[in-house]
Amino acid sequence: MKKLILAFLSMVIWILLVWPFSSGDVDWHSIGIGVFASIIVGILFGNAFTDSPYKFFEIKRYFWLVYFVVVFVWSFLEASVDFAYRVLHPDLPIRPGIIKVKTKLKRKSGIAILANSIGFAPGAVSVEIVDGFLYIHMACIRYKDTDDATAVVVRRFERILARILE
Task: For residue range 148-164, list pLDDT tens digits in order.
Answer: 766 777 888 889 988 88
If asked whether residues 24 and 94 sit together in one domain, one would say: no
Residue 65 has pLDDT above 90, yes or no: no
The three-state DSSP-derived secondary structure of the chain is: CHHHHHHHHHHHHHHHHHHHHCCCCCCHHHHHHHHHHHHHHHHHHHHHCCCCHHHHHCHHHHHHHHHHHHHHHHHHHHHHHHHHHHHHCCCCCCCCEEEEEECCCCCHHHHHHHHHHHHCCCCEEEEEEECCEEEEEECCCCCCCHHHHHHHHHHHHHHHHHHHHC
Is the pLDDT at 113 greater than 90? The verdict is: no
- Secondary structure of 83-100 in the HEC alphabet? HHHHHHCCCCCCCCEEEE
d(CA 74, CA 90) in angstroms, rounded, equals: 25
Residues 100 and 44 in one domain: no
Res 70: pLDDT: 93
How many domains does the structure of the chain reveal?
A: 2
Q: In whole angstroms, what is the distance from residue 135 CA to residue 131 CA? A: 11
34, 56, 78 - which closes a domain: 56
Regarding whether 141 and 107 lie in a shared domain, the answer is yes
30 shares its domain with 90: no
Which band of pLDDT confidence, cut at 50, 70 and 90, is reported for residue 67? very high
Task: Specify whether 52 is located in the same domain as 75.
Answer: no
Residues 23 and 96 reside in one and the same domain = no
Q: What is the rounded radius of gyration, in angstroms, for the C-alpha atoms of the chain?
A: 20
Report pTM.
Answer: 0.69
Higher pLDDT, 51 or 164: 164
Which pLDDT tens digit goes with each residue over 124-152?
A: 888 888 888 888 888 777 777 767 766 77
Model pLDDT for residues 89-108, shown as the tens digit of each residue:
878 777 788 888 888 888 88
- Max mean pLDDT among 6-20, 23-37, 40-54, 62-76 falls in 62-76
Encoded amino acid at 25, one letter: D
Task: Say if residue 118 is in the same domain as residue 69.
Answer: yes
pLDDT at 88 over 80: yes
**Both 136 and 105 in a single domain?**
yes
Neighbours of 116 (CB within 10 A): 10
Say whether both 66 and 42 belong to one domain: no
67/47 same-domain check: no
Average pLDDT, the chain: 81
Domain hosting residue 158, numbered range: 62-165
Same domain, residue pair 24 and 98: no
